[in-house]
Amino acid sequence: MWAAGAASAHAVLVSTAPESGTHVDTSPAELRLQLDEPVTLVEGSAQLIDSGGKRFALSDTRLDDGQRRVVLIPAEAVPDGAYLATARVVSADTHVVSLSIEFTVGAVTAQGRFAEHSSTGIEQYLNYPTRGITYLGLIMSAGLHAVARWVWPWVVRRRRFRVLYRVGIGILVVGFLSRFLVLIAQQSGGLSEISAASACAVLDTPHGMVTAIAALTSILAFAVATRAGPPAVAVGVAQAAAAILAVTLDGHGGSVQGWPWSFAGTLLHVYGITVWLGGVVVVAFVLRGAPDQARWHAVAVGHVVAAVAGGIVLAVLRVQPLGALVHTAYGLVLVAKVVVALGVVMLGYLSLRWFRRTGAIVGRPRTLVLETAMAVVVLAVTSVLTTLAPAKDTYTTDIATTLDFGAAQVLHIGIDSIRHGPQRLTVDYAPANTAAAPDSATVSVDLSSESANVARLPVSLGRPVVERGSLVWRSDQLIVPAPGNWKVTVRFDGGAGPKLASFYYGVL
């Protein structure tokens, strides 16, 4: 988990102009990359290079269409050659996405080789631990304070509570500062490129502003932790609310995709887990027992239900279709989190039975220690889950079918995804005469959909290439615009006259 790079599939590239992989006769006046959600452009990340590694100046880089389109304008017309235009953006859920367009200009017959992309910066590897630290601090500060005020108000006067609460706030502030540093590094293009402008750009986002407020209120709560009275209570409540909101916005809860349900589900989930596990910390380390069991049980059950309800909302939004649950990294990590969380719930029930059976208000069953350890595992798994792209964005299912036109003329059709958006369609034909020239057969493909109200969507197929005795056509930047039931119509001419065939497939 430590070595894995952060996913970059949260803001989806919908189209480019010119289309990636295509040829243009003259130098384009501007390069456009259209995304499906608003983004911010990483300062200094846009560049235009040729296949030899030479960089060409850009006179302007900007965001249009409500910050959904990245526009790069070359400073001057580029000569004939193969080019790669790249940029890095930060999506609304704070993830960095790399974008690129490959194209050729003028009298060029081959794309050439481009320089490799730069390696992943160390800031990407800090995503997991910094999130884990933040979650731990949230539970030991906001969760500890909330459940203590709710169930055992008198415990806030204990020295052990004040020490643990301050430790929790310290961990949370370190987590916030670490997350802020990671976000600035991602905005700047690396830790070595951090700038004041990048820091201001991060602070200018809702997540950045709320995180700054949460850090300030946490520092204030640390200072008044030993005091009593309404002002100290108000500061504790403000710290808890700001911290929970900041953690909610730091990830998928801050994305515009699925708004407002994604935000509401994440907020409910974070709040429920924070109070529930905060209570476990109080019972295990502050009280070392469970006085007023009935009240604590009611609070625990209520917040477990809240966490589960929020989790269900998020799962419905992010895991589509159901098969993605076991075929994507996000789905598998989510399953692991659910299994461990169920273990924590079961151990909590066993601990409650122990308290009821013994009648003890002081003392801890062994299950309570194990419950606490498994709660830490839940936090670790959650820190991984929040950095992964949702299952619906990464799940693909290959479609493979065969069209038999008779006379040994069989086409094998493959589609790499059943999700709407960019897709690759491949046509494979093995002629009876294996020595036949590539131009001996022609293929054209159209898509149509009544449910999506699309009468005809022509598929651009490149020239066929010979692979293992077969002629292979591949689509170039096919984009299926909407979900629904799509009809694929294939027109084929193998030398005996054109023939038509079609099949249907569902797009999610």
pLDDT number for residue 74: 92
pLDDT in tens, 131-164: 889 999 999 999 999 988 888 888 888 888 889 9
What is the pLDDT at residue 94?
Answer: 64
Residue 488, pLDDT > 70, answer: yes
Burial class (CB in 10 A: 0-12, 13-18, 19+), 29: exposed
| Cis before 321? omega within 30 | yes
CB-based contacts of 468: which residues, under 8 Å, 6+ apart? Answer: none
309 C-beta neighbours (distance < 10 Å), count? 14
Look up the pTM and report it: 0.64
At 355, phi and psi to the nearest 5?
-60, -40
**How do beta strands 22-24 and 96-105 pair?**
parallel
Residues with Cβ within 8 Å of 350's Cβ and at least 6 positions away in sequence, in order, are 365, 367
Averaged pLDDT for residues 430-447? 75
156, 229 contact by CB (below 8 A): no
CATH 1.20.1630 intervals, the chain: 123-393
Q: Which CATH code fits 13-118? A: 2.60.40.1220
CA angle 100, 101, 104 (to 5 degrees): 150
Q: pLDDT tier at 436 (50, 70, 90 boundaries)? A: low
User: CA 104 to CA 406: how far, in whole Å?
Assistant: 39
pLDDT for position 348: 83
CA 415 and chain centroid, separation: 24
Q: Is the confidence at residue 470, as pLDDT, over 80?
A: yes
Is 360 or 457 the better-scoring residue by pLDDT?
457
Instruction: At 404, list the tokens.
Output: 């038999």
Which pair of tokens denotes residue 385?
């889950």
Asked if CATH classification 1.25.40 holds for the domain at 123-393, the reply, yes or no, is: no
Q: Compute the Cα dihedral for 18, 21, 22, 28 and give only its sign.
A: positive
User: pLDDT by residue (tens digit) across 115-127?
Assistant: 444 444 555 667 7
Kindly tell me if the per-residue pLDDT of 2 is higher than 60: no
pLDDT of 43 reads 77
Predicted pLDDT of residue 173:
92
Task: Please give the pLDDT value at position 245.
Answer: 92
Residue 71 pLDDT grade (very low, low, confident, very high; cuts 50, 70, 90): very high
Give me the mean pLDDT over the 261-266 stretch. 88
For residues 13 and 302, which has the higher predicted lDDT (pLDDT)?
Answer: 302
Q: The CATH number of 396-507 is which of 2.60.40.10, 3.40.50.800, 3.30.70.270, 2.60.40.3340?
A: 2.60.40.3340
